[in-house]
């Protein structure tokens, strides 16, 4: 029964997918005498937490009831009051928690306060599922860098375009809709200047329902982004352009005149130091970044172990050509044994395409994620 009600709480939490950043997604279910008397989920940062919404629905029926929460109730004052105090005041007798909160401001303190108040606390119910739900929050709160998803699409023979550079469309309609759904849930979308110059993309979310546009981040060491490009002029989403100190000041000034945020990053021999860029994004409470770059960007983030997860689409097409580009550029490796390793691999059909999802084995924040998902 605990898993049943926790599963219900996890389902509630997902209603707010992509809407709670920089907060986690949280769901709560209040049960009394075998009957659900209150439900709630955290809808948006700065609004009441899941526990509060569930308590309001339950009213007086919360007294002597049990509450199932996907994340440890908060015990500190932020934009809202501590949920622990509200649970104690409502007379909740038992709290079942999926996972502890990795936020240092909570990190077990909420559980301790509940137990000090004489409330029974059970931990670790569907812990792995709860950690998976909030993988972006866990990465950001523990490292102060965004969770990075690298998305790529290629043909059966590993090509992302023809030898002429033509690439629309390698994957099918269903896969493209899936990618727009990803954009809807991620805080930012990142591409390189090559993508902007070649395709002039909008990098927005286009779905049948009203989606959320991610922040657009362009890696452009020399500030070559054209003033007339969509990411500069369309006004559909916030745009950030990452440059180095080699970028001409007049180009930086021209971009800023259009409302673009130009951020200067440390440089490497390849251009922008992407690790430094992600640090800056994390400081701005950007908790997740979707990379839709080309072969150069893909190579850089993989080489520097900056990727957490990949979404790799494979289309049932053969393009051919020794000059047709593949999804990962750079120098590559000399020994196959040095290839990047992945884990938690999942494959599924998206229309006629195959989607492979997997996590980089040595990704930053991996140990915290595994601790959060441990059944106690």
Going by their DSSP bridges, the two strands 66-69 and 35-41 should be labelled as unpaired
CA 7, 11, 12, 16: dihedral to nearest 10 degrees? 140
Q: Which phi and psi angles does 111 have, rounded to 5°? A: -65, -45
135 in catalytic set? no
Q: Which tokens belong to 137?
A: 């929050």
Closest CA to 31 of 103, 125, 110, 138: 125
| Distance of alpha carbon 171 from alpha carbon 319, whole angstroms | 12
Residues near 106 by beta carbon (within 8 Å), at least 6 away in sequence? 72, 74, 75, 76, 100
8 A C-beta contact, residue 130 and residue 372: yes
| Distance of alpha carbon 312 from alpha carbon 327, whole angstroms | 10
Among candidate residues 3, 39, 51, 123, the one labeled active-site is: 51
Q: Which tokens belong to 318?
A: 């053969």
Active site residues: 51
């Amino acid at each position: 029964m605990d898993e049943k009600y926790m599963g219900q709480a996890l389902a509630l939490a997902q209603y707010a997918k992509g809407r709670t950043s920089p907060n986690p997604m949280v769901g709560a279910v209040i049960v009394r005498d075998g009957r659900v008397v209150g439900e709630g989920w955290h809808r948006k940062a700065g609004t009441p937490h899941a526990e509060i919404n569930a308590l309001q629905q339950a009213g007086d029926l919360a007294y002597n009831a049990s509450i199932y929460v996907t994340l440890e109730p908060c015990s500190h004052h932020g934009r809202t009051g501590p949920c622990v105090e509200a649970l104690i005041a409502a007379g909740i007798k038992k709290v079942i928690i999926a996972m502890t909160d990795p936020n240092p401001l909570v990190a077990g303190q909420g559980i301790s306060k509940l137990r000090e108040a004489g409330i029974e606390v059970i931990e670790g119910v569907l812990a792995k599922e709860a950690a998976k739900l909030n993988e972006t929050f866990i990465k950001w709160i523990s490292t102060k860098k965004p969770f990075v998803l690298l998305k790529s699409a290629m043909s059966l023979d590993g090509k992302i375009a023809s030898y002429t550079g033509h690439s629309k469309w390698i994957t099918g309609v269903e896969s493209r809709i899936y990618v727009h759904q990803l954009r809807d849930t991620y805080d930012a979308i990142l591409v390189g200047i090559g993508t902007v110059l070649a395709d002039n993309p909008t990098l927005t979310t286009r779905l049948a329902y009203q989606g959320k546009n991610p922040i657009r981040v362009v890696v452009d060491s020399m500030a070559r982004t054209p003033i007339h490009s969509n990411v500069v002029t369309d006004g559909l989403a916030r745009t950030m352009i990452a440059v180095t100190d080699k970028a001409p000041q007049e180009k930086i000034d021209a971009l800023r005149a259009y409302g673009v945020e130009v951020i200067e990053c440390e440089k490497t021999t390849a251009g922008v130091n992407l690790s430094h860029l992600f640090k800056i994004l994390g400081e701005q409470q950007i908790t997740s970044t979707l990379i839709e770059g080309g072969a150069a960007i893909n190579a850089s983030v993989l080489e520097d172990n900056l990727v957490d997860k990949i979404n790799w689409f494979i289309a049932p097409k053969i393009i051919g050509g020794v000059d047709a580009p593949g999804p990962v550029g750079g120098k590559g490796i000399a020994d196959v044994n040095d290839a990047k390793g992945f884990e938690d691999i999942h494959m599924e059909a998206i229309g006629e395409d195959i989607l492979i999802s997997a996590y980089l084995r040595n990704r930053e924040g991996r140990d915290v994620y595994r601790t959060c998902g441990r059944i106690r």
